[in-house]
Amino acid sequence: METTPGDDRLWPGRVQFALLATRKVEALMSARTAEPAAAPPDEERRAWEPLPRRSDRPGRLRRRPPGSGASIGKNRSGAGGPSLRARWGLRAASVLVPLALWAAVSTAGLVDPTFLPSPLAVLEAFAEMLGSGQLLDDTLASLGRVGTGFGLAVLISVPLGVAMGTSAVALALLEPAVGLLRYMPAAAFIPLLIIWLGLGEPSKIAILVLGVVFFNTLMVADAVRRVPGELGQAAATLGARRGEILRKVTWPYALPAVVDAARINAAAAWNFVVVAELIAAESGLGYRIVRAQRFLQTDKIFAVLVVIGIVGLLIDVALRLLRDRLGRWVA
Amino acid sequence: MTLVLRGVAKDYGATRVLDGIDLSMEPGEFVCVVGASGSGKSTLLSLIAGLTPASAGSVSLAGAPVTGPGPERGLVFQSGALFPFLTVAENVAFGLRLLPISRADRERRVRWYLGEVGLSSLAGALPRQLSGGQRQRVAIARALACEPAVLLLDEPFGALDVQTKEDMQLFLRQVWRDTGTTVLMVTHDVEEAVLLAQRVLVFACGPGRVAAEVPIDLPAYRALTVKRTSSFLGLRATVEDLVRSHMLTPEREKV
């Protein structure tokens, strides 16, 4: 509202104030409650056609018996949508149907088993690798790299993100650089990192850090920026100083969202470790895939892929549980 | 301890939202500020709280100029602005935790204020489990626990339903009488202002300024039934007319 005070602009108010000042309150009241001089013309409106009504499209919004409590937009939990049992059935189908298709295709002999091993062959390969301890060693090697690389990336990105989310200076300084680096694929850095750091562990850790750190920084900054400003102001009026507001208000409020950001980027880290191991490694799940490829052991490749998927899912579930524990206060 | 504002003005860019505010409050006074939206009422509280600096003039409390936010000027927001990750008791203890007092002393104070606002049984609850009225009680207890020289309330009951609002109004009068704190409350509800305050300031729009001051000479103890007395209705009508005559509606701006 641009209201530059000018004499002409304010005079209706002044007239009324003058009325008040002379105690003609009644005149003012009657002026306010008086009927309008003439009823608004509504001949035009009367000529309008009644608005057409949209017919129910069957199937889109199923009619439910009255009192079932279902309402639009509340389909997520219980009341609407499929029942609990039906949902678990659908979840099982989402895994079992592709598995059955795979079994059917391989037993029918449609594809050479060298290219597409049967589920049973994959299970055998899995048991063999598990029995020799190879699978466990490889999984632990990959997990160790993710732990180091992802942990380092979190240690770097969280302080950077908090700085970007709370300080305009840090935001202006860091956002362009981080935003640019984020779009450079980490995998494309692999040759450069091998030249710089050699074929050993440091180059693999570096790929993980590069792949995660920029995304995580921006996501942490976003989480911190979403903390309502009113909470910081309330804390300030209760005597909190800048650092105390950051520690006692901003950080605890943002923490569940920060863990959520880490969860999403952990998936990326788990991907990058396998990519790094595909190129140069002596251990790890990615290395196991390359080895199996050399001997055309597609059954082993499949078994390792399934392990990668399951471990990734477990990491996700663990971080989800952590987030839910830290964010119990979230409505 | 007296809150004094002298010639306070506030500009947002080229727009002056507050101009020439002179105000002084005695200790233990209850003052309400009413005015149409856009009259800078909330900005006034923000200036006194020290969250925004004044463009001109001075704000001082007990002779000391206000330079930033502090616990001697407690502010309660319309939303309550409770810390959602802290329990009710932890919210009330927030300001006390920043002070060098013993744990026993802190807990004793928290217990007293929770009792005062009637929420002892909900000490361990999280804000999301509370109703709107309960949240505002916590926000008021949290501000009062720091023993502010003046309690600033920014439309604290604006988002509540009518019955809860009436309960909260009686509750606020009760707390004010129990603690003897000075209260400056902003509201757009004239009835609320007349029911609660000893003095009502009417703000005018464009730029926001004090247009009138109405002393409310109602009995010190006010039940809800006071709203039906002729003196209450007369005061309410006077204030309503003052608010309306200093309003700047969009239609009038176009003229």
Distance CA A222, CA A301 (A): 39
Of A10, A28, A331, the CB nearest to B241: A28
Give the number of C-alpha atoms closer than 13 A to the C-alpha of residue B21, restricted to the C-beta side. Answer: 38
Q: How many angstroms away from the CA of B222 is the closest CA of chain A?
A: 27
First to last CA, chain B: 46
**Regarding predicted confidence, which is higher, B146 or B38?**
B146
Count Cβ neighbours within 10 Å for each residue of A49-81 and write b for 16 or more, e otherwise: eeeeeeeeeeeeeeeeeeeeebeeeeeeeeebe
Helices A285-294 & A298-326 angle (0-180, nearest 10) = 170
- The per-residue pLDDT for range A100-134, each reduced to its tens digit, is 999 999 888 888 888 889 888 999 999 999 999 88
DSSP B208: B
Of B15, B83, B245, the CB nearest to A249: B83
Tokens of A246: 């950051």
* Interface test with chain B among A22, A237, A253, A323, by most B beta carbons within 10 Å: A237
pLDDT at A60: 56
The answer to whether the Cβ–Cβ distance between A234 and B51 falls below 8 Å is no
Distance CA A115, CA A112 (A): 6
Q: What's the ipTM?
A: 0.90
The residues, ordered by sequence, that sit 6+ positions from A80 with a Cβ below 8 Å of its Cβ are A64, A70, A71, A74
- The per-residue pLDDT for range A147-173, each reduced to its tens digit, is 999 999 999 999 999 999 999 999 999
- The per-residue pLDDT for range B65-122, each reduced to its tens digit, is 999 999 999 999 989 999 999 999 999 999 999 999 999 999 999 999 999 889 999 9
Total Cβ atoms within 10 A of residue A331 = 8
- The per-residue pLDDT for range B21-77, each reduced to its tens digit, is 999 999 999 999 998 887 888 899 999 999 999 999 999 998 899 999 999 999 999
Phi, psi of B188 (to 5 degrees): -105, 0
A10 confidence band (pLDDT: 50, 70, 90): very low
* Across A18-30, average pLDDT: 49
As a whole number, the mean pLDDT across chain B is 90
Residue type for A315, please? Answer: I
pLDDT at B202: 93
Which of A20, A21, A25, A7 lies closest to B206, judged by CA? A7
pLDDT at A1: 44
Cβ contacts from A onto B, under 8 A? 114
* Across A290-309, average pLDDT: 91
pLDDT at B216: 92
pLDDT at B237: 93
- The per-residue pLDDT for range A217-230, each reduced to its tens digit, is 999 999 999 999 99
pLDDT at A2: 44
**Residue B169 pLDDT exceeds 50:** yes
A-chain CB neighbours of B49 within 8 Å are 233, 237
**Cα→Cα distances A41→A36, A157, B34, B169, Å:** 12, 66, 38, 45
pLDDT at A70: 46
The answer to whether the Cβ–Cβ distance between B98 and A238 falls below 8 Å is yes
**Residue B181 pLDDT exceeds 80:** yes
Which residue does chain B place closest to A2, by CA atoms?
A: B15
**Regarding predicted confidence, which is higher, A19 or A331?**
A331
Radius of gyration of chain B (CA): 18
pLDDT at B103: 94
pLDDT at A289: 92
pLDDT at A188: 86
SS3 B221: coil
Which residue does chain A place closest to B17, by CA atoms?
A: A3
pLDDT at A312: 93
On whether any CB of chain B is under 8 Å from the CB of A23, the answer is no
**Residue A315 pLDDT exceeds 80:** yes
pLDDT at A37: 59
Distance CA B156, CA B78 (A): 4
Distance CA B87, CA B94 (A): 10
pLDDT at A7: 45
What is the percent of chain A where pLDDT is above 70?
80
On whether any CB of chain A is under 8 Å from the CB of B57, the answer is no
What is the percent of chain B where pLDDT is above 90?
69
The answer to whether the Cβ–Cβ distance between A230 and B81 falls below 8 Å is yes
